[in-house]
Amino acid sequence: MATRIDGKKVAADIKADLAERVERLKAQGVVPGLGTLLVGEDPGSVKYVAGKHADCKEIGVNSVKKELPADASFEDIANAVKELNEDPACNGFIVQLPLPKGIDQNAIIDLIDPAKDADGMHPYNLGELVLHVRGDISTPLPCTPRGVIELLKAYNIDLNGKEVCVLGRGITIGRTIGLMLTRNAVNATVTLCHTGTKDVADHMRRADVIVAAMGSAGFVTPDKIKEGAVLVDVGVSRVFDEEAGRYRIKGDVDKACYDKASAYTPNPGGVGPMTRAMLLANVVEMAERSL
């Protein structure tokens, strides 16, 4: 029977450890703080940011909130980023994406102080990840890829020498997880598949591990995987459920694959909680580095 990889449980264990580290920091006069910049009132973004601050409260991290209206100018957003860069109560922060239409998101991300980049997605930090393939790295790491690796590690799934097929080339997971998986500390061999890849199924059938991050509901089916593969489902799609009469979140991995796999992450309840836990881990580590 395949192992169900419980992201909620692992994330809870990580947060418990982080809470202890936060207490030790406070004893030394350091209170870790996570900042968020929310522009507009997109329901998904509002809920996501609220969840981050609830996580902060759970482990004793200070919350720094900045909110701007949907019609905020580039200059307004840039000034808010500058304020967070300079705020000593904020060890790290995120700019909640997407930003309103007409705002250059990459230009805003470039304005973040790399040392305060809680998402680990600033070009400088991604460059450090590329350069430090062989040794330790002390810059913030991308949350979702880090969460995937920590989740597999918690279940003693060794990636050393394994063939990993990554589906999707988005910067949040697809491109960045390849950088992390091929570091000496992990030592996997990665094939990155995307819309231009010929015979994606052929690559999938050779893989020991599949990381699906396409946002294509049920794309990974039993005929496309080999017996005993490990399935990591990062994809998120809203699919209308005719019976229930409402939309449901569905991942990239068809549940029919579970019987053929050796282990799998459910969706929801797999990688999602780990992404949030890794954001907290980045902030606590930033505070620890400030000592």
Q: Which amino acids are annotated catalytic?
A: 52, 96, 119
As beta bridge partners, residue 237 has 250
170 carries a ligand binding annotation:
yes
175 carries a ligand binding annotation:
no
Contacts with 235 (C-beta within 8 Å, 6 or more apart), sequence order: 167, 168, 212, 213, 214, 215, 216, 217, 219, 251, 252, 253, 267
Type of residue found at 124 = Y
User: Both tokens of residue 271?
Assistant: 């990688």
Contacts with 251 (C-beta within 8 Å, 6 or more apart), sequence order: 212, 217, 218, 233, 234, 235, 236, 237, 267, 268
Cis, peptide link before residue 268, omega less than 30° from 0: yes
Type of residue found at 250 = K
168 carries a ligand binding annotation:
yes
First to last CA, the chain: 47
User: Both tokens of residue 202?
Assistant: 């052929």
Determine the 3-state secondary structure of 214 from DSSP. coil
User: Both tokens of residue 3?
Assistant: 């192992």
236 carries a ligand binding annotation:
yes
Q: DSSP assignment of 137-149, as one string? A: --SPPPHHHHHHH
Taking alpha carbons only, the member of 161, 163, 150 closest to residue 230 is 163
Q: What is the rounded distance in angstroms from the CA atom of residue 126 to the CA atom of residue 107?
A: 15
Q: Burial code of 117-151, b = ≥16 C-beta within 10 A, e = fewer?
A: bbbbbbeebbebbeebeeeeeebbbbbbbbbbbbb
The total number of residues shown for the chain amounts to 291
In 10 A of CB 77, how many CB atoms?
23
Binding-site sequence positions for NADP(+): 168-170, 236
Binding-site sequence positions: 168-170, 236
